[in-house]
Structure formats: structure tokens, C-alpha cells
Chains A and B, each alone.
Chain A
Amino acid sequence: MRLRTRPASGGFELYAWFFMRVSGILLILLALGHFGYMHLLNGVEKIDYEFVARQYRTPFWKTYDLLLLSLALVHGANGARTLIDDYIHARGWRALFLAALYTASFFFLVVGALVIVTFQRVR
């Protein structure tokens, strides 16, 4: 017997399913790359304002962080949406949890992007 994990309904759920796999591959590189660079190659004790300011002098790290931020939040929010659909059955509670999830994800996406894009070194 072969499992059919792909949504049979097509439409949005199929796109969401496909997005999780594509963004997942990219996030393996971006998120593990970020964690490895920060925590293994450098270490938390080396990270300070100067460290970030040095990184953000180059468009490479800004682009890297923007891509990581947006993919992680959309991938995470869609994953959490699946969990809410699976576990919260009461309509009112489900609407509340979904609203909280979408608000938080959108808020952190905007704040995170603004932090990266508007960064100005202060001495």
C-alpha cells in the first residue's frame, strides 16, 4: 500500500503542500547555515552589535537574512495553520488561534524586514 500524502483536493492546499517542500529545502541551507555560522563557527559569546554591524555592511548578509526571515515565517506559519486545523475543532477557538497566528507572523515579518533594511550603524 502506498501512502498518498499529496493533497488530492488540488488548489490552495496543493500549492501549500508544494511550498512546504520547496521552502523546506531552501531553509535547510539557510537556517542550518545561519545556525552553523553563528553558533559553531563563531559562537554566541562573539556576537555583539559590532558583529552584526560588520555583517550588515554587505548586501549579501542582508539578503540572506531577509530570505531566511521570510521563508522561515511563511513556512512556520503554514505549518502552525495545519496544526490548528488538526487540533482545534471549535469554530470560535480555531478562528481566534488562526487570527493570532496570522497577526503574529505578519507582525514579525514586517518588524524583522524593517530591522534588516533600515539598519544604520550607530557608534
Chain B
Amino acid sequence: MVYRGSEGMWAWVAHRCAGVAVLLFVFVHVADTALIGWGPKYYNLFVKLYSGPAFRLFEIFLAAALLFHALNGVRIMIIDFWEGGTDIQKPLFYGVMALFLVVFIPGAYIMLSPIVRSMLGG
């Protein structure tokens, strides 16, 4: 089986990168949520930052990382637990990418539309 440089390797590399990105965000997210312990003032100030345009791009990136990691995780489990999984790991990768786009594009539209509307002054 040729793995190096093909779909399986890129899925593997992307899975690792996305995993690290999500873990680092979980650390940050625990820290920002900890602000609720000090009452509404600081927490609301910080969440307002999160809804700004710069963080909306970050939000899109997080969504992509999380969604890819989840879908490719299912691909990994199919390969691991189902006899014929390894033989179809490439089609499974294209399935992951197709499902990714089907979920990600409408999701990104929902997340970005309020910020686009506010930038257009609506």
C-alpha cells in the first residue's frame, strides 16, 4: 500500500494539526470561561471581543479544525474496526472531504453573515 504523499498521509497530517489546534483552543477557552467566576463585567467584555471580525475568522478556522478532526476520526475508526476499511481508506477520505464541505459551507455562512451584515452597515 502506498501511503506516503497520498490521501492517507495528508489526512493523517491534517488530523494531527487540527487536533493540536483544538487542544490549544480548549486551554484558552477554559481560561476565558473562568471569567464568569468574577461576575458579568469581565466576562461580557471578553465575549464582546470574541464577536469581533478578527475572532470570527478564528471561529471559522476552529470550526474547520473541529469538523475535520471529527469526520476523519470516524474514518480512522472505520479503518480500525471494519475488516474492509483499510482497502477503502482513499474513498473514505473523499467521503470525509465531501461531508466536510456539505456541513462547513452552510455553517460558515451562518457564522459569517452577521459580521458581513454589520460591516455593510445593515
Count residues of A near B (Cβ-Cβ below 8 Å): 40
Whether, in the assembled complex, B54 has its beta carbon less than 8 Å from a beta carbon of chain A, the answer is: no
In the complex, the chain A residue whose C-beta lies closest to that of B23 is: A76
Write the nearest CB–CB distance from B19 to chain A, whole angstroms: 5
Count residues of B near A (Cβ-Cβ below 8 Å): 41
Chain B 55-81 against A: per-residue CB contact (8 Å), 1 yes, 0 no? 110010011001100100110110111
In the complex, the chain B residue whose C-beta lies closest to that of A104 is: B27
**In the assembly, what is the distance between CA of A80 and CA of B62, in Å?**
17
In the complex, the chain B residue whose C-beta lies closest to that of A17 is: B80
Q: B107 — which chain A residues lie within 8 A by C-beta?
A: 39-40
Interchain CB contact under 8 A, A122 and B40: yes
Q: A25 — which chain B residues lie within 8 A by C-beta?
A: 77
In the complex, the chain A residue whose C-beta lies closest to that of B113 is: A43
Interchain CB contact under 8 A, B30 and A49: no
Q: A1 — which chain B residues lie within 8 A by C-beta?
A: 1
**In the assembly, what is the distance between CA of A1 and CA of B86, in Å?**
9
Binding site for A on B (CB under 8 A): 1, 16, 19-20, 22-23, 26-27, 30-31, 33-34, 36-37, 39-40, 43-44, 47, 50-51, 55-56, 59, 62-63, 66-67, 70, 73-74, 76-77, 79-81, 86, 107, 110-111, 114
Binding site for B on A (CB under 8 A): 1-3, 5-6, 21, 24-25, 27-28, 31-32, 35, 39-40, 43-45, 47-50, 52-53, 69, 72-73, 76-77, 79-80, 83, 104, 108, 111-112, 115, 118-119, 122
